Amino acid sequence: MRALVTGGGGFLGSAIVRALLVRGDTVRVLARGSYPELTALGAEVVTADVRDRPAVVAAVGDVDVVFHTAAKAGGWGDRREFEVINVGGTENVIAACVERGVSRLVHTSSPSVVHAHRDIEGDNESLPYATRFTADYPRTKALAEQRVLAAAGPSLRTVALRPHLIWGPGDRHLLPRLVERARAGRLRQVGSRDVATDFCYIDNCVDAHLLAADALATNAMASGRAYFISDGRPIGVWTMANRTLAAAGCGAVGRPVPAWLAYALGGALEVLHATFRIEREPLMTRFAASQLSHSQWFDISAARRDLGYSPMVTIDEGMERLAVWARASL
């Protein structure tokens, strides 16, 4: 098929690009930078921003499916940027698909759209969207997902995938920050519980995206729906952090800080950063404190049933691959 990947230079986006090329698909990338390594593999790279609707419309021309992975992530940042990138950018992608007659749209969402500051243990897609958000990332991702699902119709089939904490070789965002804080002695456990949490290995996440695109071509019942995606085995978030740090060859997580204290500290730091217009993300935020102190694992039966998804790479196998990559790259 002919595919467009927005955010194709990122961790997930570039992995989707490579997987599509390996199976013989024609791939165009829309990204803000230039990526000669993807061009060398055979992808067409269009340097543009999802906020630029004419550029998105032009990039969408003559493709069969769009994988929309571009987003502004993080628990802190300019509120307006989150809105214009995550919501406005998604609206541009939807409008471009409609205008150019694209038949399928696979949107990368997040389980944080349903995070309600409580434990979630084995719940499914019947969970409602959260009504109170402590960060603009989950708030705008929820709005974007709703736009995508509402756009589903006879001429455009859409699906939203909700992978939780994507990890593995090639991660230049989460893992480096984890390693940096551990080496600086600034990585502390939040709360006394090793809360059970879903993770999604990069290859499993890519596989889910390709399966979703293929399912939309043959199964109209999958259109207009969201699906949780994970490795299929919840694991303690601090156990996972320590295993990841061990794979990267550095220290372990420090002693616990009470969850209430971390949440209060996050709120205070947010006020401080906002008051003095400090752009970098605070050491702790309310969103991070809540996420790290509550169980978050989900039933992926719907993805198994409708998309044919089954996580192929186990956490143990993924850790072995991560260790090999980290030794050479970090």
Q: What residues does 232 pair with on adjacent strands? A: none
CATH code of the domain containing 44: 3.40.50.720
pLDDT single digits (tens) 101-145:
999 999 999 999 999 999 999 999 999 999 999 999 999 999 999
**Which residues, 6+ apart, have CB-to-CB distance to 210 below 8 Å?**
16, 19, 20, 23
Split into its structural domains, the chain has a count of 1
Q: By C-alpha distance, which of 148, 167, 144, 155 is closest to 106?
A: 148
d(CA 176, CA 179): 5
When the pLDDT of each residue in the chain is averaged and rounded to a whole number, the result is 96
Is the model's pLDDT at 18 over the cut of 90?
Answer: yes
137 is catalytic: yes
Tell me if 166 is assigned to some domain. yes
Which residues form the domain of 110?
Answer: 2-324
The predicted model scores a pTM of 0.97
pLDDT value of residue 160: 98
Tell me if 105 is assigned to some domain. yes
Sheet of 120-123, strands arranged across = 120-123, 296-298, 196-197, 235-236
Tell me if 217 is assigned to some domain. yes
Tell me if 70 is assigned to some domain. yes
Between 172 and 285, name the one with better pLDDT. Answer: 285
Tell me if 329 is assigned to some domain. no
Largest Cα separation within the chain, whole Å, is 55
User: Of the residues 35, 137, 227, 309, which is catalytic?
Assistant: 137
Tell me the one-letter amino acid at 215.
A
Is the model's pLDDT at 330 over the cut of 80?
Answer: no
pLDDT value of residue 327: 87
